[in-house]
């Protein structure tokens, strides 16, 4: 897609001509071309190359041969891949729903006149800026079954000690807790942006009509911030599907393969087993899953907007 | 009057409940990094120890390669960010003026693509070029992160700056380059600051590119910390200290530039749909 259109349109000509009828638009293409070249080299080229690799039998260090759809068929019959897809979807579902709920409530609180709002919001935003590997490292210590502070805190309220990320049954919810801790602030910021755009007047008339706080939220606030909630859902879905740092640094997909998402399996295939062809096929399928889910969510958003427009 | 006061106190406590996981996490991180091994292994856990283990931090910097990794991180993030600004600011301007919103789809797709799918082909390419032992592979691949951020923020910014001045300069005979450099760019300075900060943060935090591409001499800080966790049985104190050192620059930046970061993220996110 590296379009070669740096036509040297005479930008200076318009000044001399100076006619009111013909106004030659300044040429903006040269500004975009360097970025197009870079995007072509580091984004578009890898894509084309991945597609090509995915139809080849290719393990690093061995010879390459054309394989057709073999890698894709192998993927369809690979139980470990299906298992990782299930892990990915459950991880993503939980990592969207929990931050969405908490982030929306937090936005409603921070939208009100809270004392020390600036300071508190500043601290609230910090987790999402912190380096994920550093975050993962400290959470790993906190999850430690014997010495971890979390089991101590649980013991204070009489809950028995958990094994957190060290048990196949609790590893995904534990990782989701870290993901939620880190990314609830982004949801909060997006929803806060939505709340800032909500007009005051409808609430004043609702107040006069005797609507209570819940009714005001349910029938006024919620519909008005719905587009923002949808954007937050889409961004959260994309990010949760792609999540790598936290999972890899804390469990590497373990115990066993209990927290192996597609992204982790893809990493292992390509960079532990050096099975480049198979890994590329997996990357293509994974990307298709992400685009498909985002597309469905975008369609839902469009439909809700039309429904809104018809309602008015 | 008093019910209003009660309301505000209630709100404050509600906000405190939501902020407390962040406060407790960072407090605990600091506590871990300042305790000796005995205190870190104590049950019940100790928040504030009697003696502070400042030596944990000394140990981190004595760790072979830690300063080198710090320098690598600075070089990779710095170069990738500067290149991204050099390329991305004019591109954002061009796209905003061309009203080529559709080109933003490319950026959206870049956001959807998992980092690993860039890594396989580029890894092979770097291998063929024989530059795997240098920092260049990481600098180049970090552009995947930094260029979209800069272009994204700058499109949003240039769309909101007024056109009248630029049109006037055009009529006075300035070339597009002059208009950009002398009229558009100075107005866009706050936008560039936002793009710079976000680009630095996300490049600095990046882990997956380094874990694949870095060799012993070209490790960035996140990879160095990860390696400490996995390969060496270091005690918790120095580990937590290392984690804190890695993330401290980002946290300080977040504290000082909170308003810009929030503005940039929400603008980008909200346009993201």
CATH code, domain with B88: 1.10.3720.10
Q: Does residue B136 fall inside a structural domain?
A: yes
Rounded (5°) CA angle A64-A65-A66: 135
Percent of chain A having pLDDT more than 70?
89
Closest CA to B83 of B142, B157, B155, B153: B142
Q: Does residue B197 fall inside a structural domain?
A: yes
Percent of chain A having pLDDT more than 90?
51
Rounded (5°) CA angle A210-A215-A220: 105
Taking phi first (over 0 means left), then psi (-120 to 50 degrees means alpha), and beta for anything else, what does residue A45 get?
alpha
The shortest C-alpha distance from B42 to chain A (Å) reads 7
pLDDT-based confidence at residue A298 (cuts at 50, 70, 90): confident
Q: What is residue B269's predicted lDDT score, i.e. its pLDDT?
A: 52
Closest CA to A135 of A176, A88, A178: A178
Tokens of A112: 């009100």
Q: Residue B120 and residue A279: Cβ atoms within 8 Å?
A: yes
Find the residue in A nearest to B272 (Cα).
A231
Percent of chain B having pLDDT more than 70?
94
Class of residue A15 by CB neighbours under 10 A (exposed 0-12, middle 13-18, buried 19+): middle
Q: What is residue A60's predicted lDDT score, i.e. its pLDDT?
A: 82
Mean pLDDT over B49-66 rounds to 86
Q: Residue A141 and residue B113: Cβ atoms within 8 Å?
A: no
Mean pLDDT over B33-45 rounds to 86
Q: Residue A133 and residue B103: Cβ atoms within 8 Å?
A: no
Domain count, chain B: 1
Is there a contact between B83 and B65 (Cβ–Cβ < 8 Å)? Answer: no
Q: What is residue B53's predicted lDDT score, i.e. its pLDDT?
A: 87
Least confident of A12-16, A168-172, B103-107: A12-16
CA dihedral (B75, B80, B82, B85) in degrees, to 10, reads: -170
Q: Residue A109 and residue B272: Cβ atoms within 8 Å?
A: no
pLDDT-based confidence at residue A5 (cuts at 50, 70, 90): very low
How far is Cα A132 from Cα B33, in angstroms, rounded to an integer?
17
Mean pLDDT over A39-58 rounds to 89
pLDDT at A76 > cutoff 60:
yes
ipTM of predicted complex: 0.90
How far is Cα B154 from Cα B95, in angstroms, rounded to an integer?
9
Q: Does residue B49 fall inside a structural domain?
A: no
Q: What is residue A79's predicted lDDT score, i.e. its pLDDT?
A: 96
Q: What is residue B80's predicted lDDT score, i.e. its pLDDT?
A: 97
Q: What is residue B157's predicted lDDT score, i.e. its pLDDT?
A: 86
Q: Does residue B243 fall inside a structural domain?
A: yes
How far is Cα A43 from Cα A41, in angstroms, rounded to an integer?
6
pLDDT at B268 > cutoff 60:
no
Closest CA to A166 of A185, A144, A135: A144
A189 closest CB neighbour out of B29, B100, B266: B266
How far is Cα A103 from Cα A116, in angstroms, rounded to an integer?
19
Q: Does residue B231 fall inside a structural domain?
A: yes
Contacts of B32 in chain A (CB under 8 A): 138, 141
How far is Cα B199 from Cα B78, in angstroms, rounded to an integer?
9
Q: What is the mean pLDDT of chain A?
A: 86
For the entire predicted model, the pTM comes to 0.88
Q: For chain A, which domains are there?
A: 79-311 (1.10.3720.10)
Comparing A64 with A91, the larger pLDDT belongs to A91
Closest CA to B115 of B213, B196, B262: B213
Q: Residue B261 and residue A267: Cβ atoms within 8 Å?
A: no
Structural domain harbouring B264: 56-272
Using omega within 30 degrees of 0 as the cis cutoff, is the peptide bond preceding B44 cis?
A: yes
pLDDT at B267 > cutoff 60:
yes
pLDDT at A36 > cutoff 80:
yes
pLDDT at A68 > cutoff 60:
yes
Q: Does residue B111 fall inside a structural domain?
A: yes
Per-residue DSSP letter, A157: T
Q: Residue B90 and residue A134: Cβ atoms within 8 Å?
A: no
Percent of chain B having pLDDT more than 90?
42
pLDDT at B92 > cutoff 70:
yes
Is there a contact between B26 and A131 (Cβ–Cβ < 8 Å)? Answer: no
The shortest C-alpha distance from B115 to chain A (Å) reads 8
pLDDT at B23 > cutoff 80:
yes
Contacts of B152 in chain A (CB under 8 A): none
């Amino acid at each position: 897609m590296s379009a070669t259109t740096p036509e040297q349109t005479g930008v200076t000509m318009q000044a001399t001509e100076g006619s009111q009828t013909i106004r030659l638009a300044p040429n903006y293409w040269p500004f975009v071309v360097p970025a197009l070249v870079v995007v072509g080299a580091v984004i578009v080229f890898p894509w084309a190359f991945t597609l090509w690799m995915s139809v080849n039998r290719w393990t690093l260090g061995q010879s390459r041969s054309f394989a057709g759809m073999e890698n894709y068929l192998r993927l369809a019959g690979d139980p470990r891949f299906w298992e990782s897809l299930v892990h990915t979807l459950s991880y993503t579902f939980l990592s969207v729903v929990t931050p969405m709920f908490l982030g929306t409530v937090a936005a409603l609180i921070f939208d009100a006149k809270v004392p020390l709002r600036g300071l508190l919001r500043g601290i609230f935003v910090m987790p999402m800026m912190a380096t994920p590997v550093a975050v993962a490292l400290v959470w790993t210590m906190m999850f430690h079954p014997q010495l971890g502070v979390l089991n101590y805190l649980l013991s204070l309220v009489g809950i028995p000690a958990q094994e957190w990320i060290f048990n196949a049954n609790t590893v995904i919810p534990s990782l989701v807790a870290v993901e939620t801790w880190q990314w609830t602030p982004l949801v909060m910021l997006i929803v806060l942006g939505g709340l800032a755009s909500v007009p005051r007047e409808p609430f004043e008339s609702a107040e006069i009509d005797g609507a209570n706080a819940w009714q005001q939220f349910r029938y006024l606030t919620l519909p008005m911030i719905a587009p923002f909630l949808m954007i937050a859902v889409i961004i959260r879905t994309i990010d949760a599907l792609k999540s790598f740092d936290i999972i890899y640094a804390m469990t590497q997909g373990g115990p066993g393969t209990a927290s192996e998402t597609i992204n982790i399996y893809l990493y292992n295939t390509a960079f532990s087993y050096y099975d480049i062809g198979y890994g590329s096929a997996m990357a293509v399928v994974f990307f298709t899953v992400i685009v498909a889910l985002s597309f469905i969510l975008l369609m839902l958003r469009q439909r809700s907007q039309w429904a809104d427009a018809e309602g008015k | 009057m008093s019910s209003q006061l009660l309301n505000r106190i209630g709100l404050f406590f509600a906000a405190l409940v939501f902020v407390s996981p962040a406060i407790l996490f960072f407090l605990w991180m600091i506590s871990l990094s300042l305790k000796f091994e005995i205190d870190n292994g104590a049950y019940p856990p100790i928040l504030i120890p009697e003696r502070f283990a400042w030596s944990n931090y000394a140990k981190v910097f004595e760790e072979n390669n830690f300063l080198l990794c710090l320098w690598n991180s600075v070089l990779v993030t710095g170069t990738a960010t500067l290149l991204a600004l050099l390329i991305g600011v004019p591109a954002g301007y061009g796209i905003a003026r061309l009203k080529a919103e559709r080109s933003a789809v490319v950026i959206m797709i870049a956001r959807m693509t998992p980092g690993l799918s860039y890594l396989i082909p580029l890894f092979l390419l770097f291998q063929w070029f024989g530059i795997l032992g240098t920092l260049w592979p990481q600098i180049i691949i970090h552009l995947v992160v930094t260029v979209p951020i800069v272009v994204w923020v700058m499109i949003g910014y240039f769309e909101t700056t007024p056109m009248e001045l630029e049109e006037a300069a055009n009529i006075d005979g300035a070339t597009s380059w002059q208009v950009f450099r002398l009229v558009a760019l100075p107005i866009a300075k706050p936008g560039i600051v936002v793009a710079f900060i976000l680009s630095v943060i996300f490049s600095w935090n990046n882990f997956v590119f380094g874990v694949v591409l870095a060799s012993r001499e070209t490790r960035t800080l996140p990879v160095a910390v990860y390696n400490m966790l996995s390969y060496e049985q270091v005690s918790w104190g120095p580990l937590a200290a290392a984690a804190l050192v890695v993330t401290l620059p980002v946290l300080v930046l977040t504290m000082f530039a909170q308003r810009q970061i929030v503005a940039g993220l929400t603008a980008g996110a909200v346009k993201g749909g």
